[in-house]
Amino acid sequence: MTSYTITPGSDGATFNVVISGANGTRQTLLGFATKSEAEAWITNDKRLNHPDDGPTVFDSPTPAGD
């Protein structure tokens, strides 16, 4: 099962999406302007590429001010 984690960007103003595959592969997409934008990307990626993974659950640290 593929998992997604939203993390704060190193600049403190953007968000990243960490994608971990069932086979241990890992990728990070950088520079989403908002947490909502990152969540929308995850939802779309799951719909297109992983339809059998089940519902989207966001597991992410919540930075202050979000």
pLDDT at 65 exceeding the cut of 60: no
> Which residues have a Cβ under 8 Å from the Cβ of 49 and sit 6 or more positions away?
2
* pTM of this structure: 0.72
Phi, psi of 52 (to 5 degrees): -95, 5
Q: Percentages helix, strand, coil for the chain, rounded to the nearest 5?
A: 25, 30, 50
Q: Bigger pLDDT: 57 or 29?
A: 29
SS3 8: strand
pLDDT of 40:
96
Token pair listed for 37: 């934008």
pLDDT at 33 exceeding the cut of 60: yes
Domains of the chain: 3-49 (3.30.160)
16 closest CA partner among 26, 3, 29: 29
pLDDT mean over 47-58: 67
